Amino acid sequence: MVCSTCGASNDFQDRFCIACGASLAMAILGGSQVAARCRPGQSVPRLASLVRRAIAAILDLIACWCALNLIAMMMPAHVIEYGFARKGFAALILIGLCCVGLTYYVLFEAFFGATLGKAITGIQVRQRDGDACNFSAALIRNLLRAVDAIAGYLVGLVVALLSAWRQRVGDLVAGTIVIRRAHPAVIQVLLVLAWLALFFGTFVVHYTVPRY
């Protein structure tokens, strides 16, 4: 039995991880249910820990913030001089930027199974039967972020803690799970470099490119 919190190996009869002390009951329950849904000969996936998912969420939030800022900096200064007021043309721009953020999550999860943050932390979105995440599932789970994000993602956290497969509301409705999937070291380094380039590139553009 592999601890989903720290990755240490434990005996199957152990109730708590010998390395970090985390409870193994949820991992046993989740693993058995996932195994029951897998096809014959298909390897049983390891569920991603909530800690990894939280780190991935933070990385993705920063990546989206950087991308949206780059888009905003390409617009004429007079268009956004009121800070995206929630009326008139500025409101349409704000809605458009929100749609860009949603598109980032949906397309990356539908085509690659992972956003940049998820790929860096070594996790991936899959369907409960082990198949790749499709477009409709990615769209549903990300539209329902609005529900999971209530009270600072407290709703999503509580639901995931109570779920055997660590599914938040969006995952429950879309029929998806988040599993561990480590990439080769070279890929991991490239992903981190891409994230850092986006992060620091945003500040470089902000302070060097003139606004009109």
Residues 15 and 73 in one domain: no
In terms of domains, do 134 and 76 share one? yes
The Cβ-side half-sphere exposure at 184, using a 13 Å CA radius, reads 2
Q: How far apart are CA 125 and CA 178, in angstroms?
A: 5
Report the mean per-residue pLDDT for the chain.
79
Cα distances from 92 to residues 9, 69, 205, in angstroms, run 52, 16, 24
58, 17: one domain: no
Q: Which residues pair with 126 in a beta bridge?
A: 132, 177
Cα 81 from Cα 212, distance rounded (Å): 11
Count of domains forming the chain: 2
- The helix (H) or strand (E) run that includes residue 122 is none
Do 77 and 164 sit in the same domain of this protein? yes
Tens of pLDDT, residue by residue over 169-210, are 999 999 999 999 877 889 889 999 999 999 999 888 877 876
User: What is the mean predicted confidence (pLDDT) over 11-26?
Assistant: 61
Give 118's contacts (C-beta < 8 A, 6+ positions apart). Answer: 56, 60, 109, 124, 125, 178
- Do 109 and 168 fall into the same domain? yes
Same domain, 138 and 61: yes
Same domain, 87 and 17: no
Residue 155 is which amino acid?
A: V
The band of 59, judged by pLDDT with boundaries at 50, 70 and 90, is: very high
- Cβ neighbours for 10, distance < 8 A, ≥ 6 positions apart: 1, 2, 3, 17, 18, 24
3 and 69 together in one domain: no
Same domain, 134 and 34: no
What's the rounded mean pLDDT across residues 154-178?
92
Provide the domain limits for residue 15. 1-44
Residues 98 and 179 in one domain: yes
* Pair (35, 51) in one structural domain: no
